[in-house]
Amino acid sequence: MTDRKTGNTPGSANLDDFLNTPEVQEAAQDKSTFFTPQPVEEAPVAPTPAPVPEPEPKEGAAEIETETVVKATELPQEEVDRLSADIVAAIKTVYDPEIPSDIYELGLIYKIELEDNRDVEVEMTLTSPGCPVAGEMPGWVQDAVSSVQGVGDVKVNLVFDPPWSMERMSDEAKLALNMF
């Protein structure tokens, strides 16, 4: 129903009165009070960095052994083979206390060097630099390798480059952790 005097519908006079108040008129003049949509610019796309080649995943223990053990050249081949197998077997007795798989199958052993004088140098990493047994695990590996008959001095180096990733795990470790 329209008011015959003003031509307004009921309730619209109150709105008109409100819109004409000095406060609303002042706010209407101040454009910062109102939201003015701005055109959206597309965010710049960063160039994709070149992929860092990942080491080939290790599928089985036999493949890991031939890639990991650097063998001495002056020792008889059968002695090198025996020592290599015994060293790997000894390392497989070392377990991360939080993971039900040995550290060899987890891919934490990067390199084993068997020198001509029978000294052994092991490069290993951890699943995480904050591993609670970071200070102890290299000693466990050193003790295990030192127990192999015919091995000289043993040195274990803890490295974090390249960082460990789950792709380094053998199929045996993945199976033990239900990762298939």
* Residue range 61-176, CATH number: 3.30.300.130
Residues of the chain within CATH 3.30.300.130 domain(s) are 61-176
pLDDT tens sequence across 46-67: 555 555 444 444 444 334 443 5
Rounded CA separation 126/137 (Å): 9
Q: Of the spans 11-20, 25-34, 152-161, 170-179, which averages the highest pLDDT?
A: 152-161
Rounded CA separation 41/34 (Å): 21
For residue 49, how far is the Cα from the chain centroid?
18
pLDDT tens sequence across 66-95: 356 777 678 888 888 999 999 999 999 999
**96 in Cβ contact with 106 (< 8 Å):** yes
Q: Cα 7–10–16 angle (5° rounding)?
A: 70
**0.75 cut: is pTM over it?**
no
Residue 174 pLDDT greater than 50, yes or no: yes
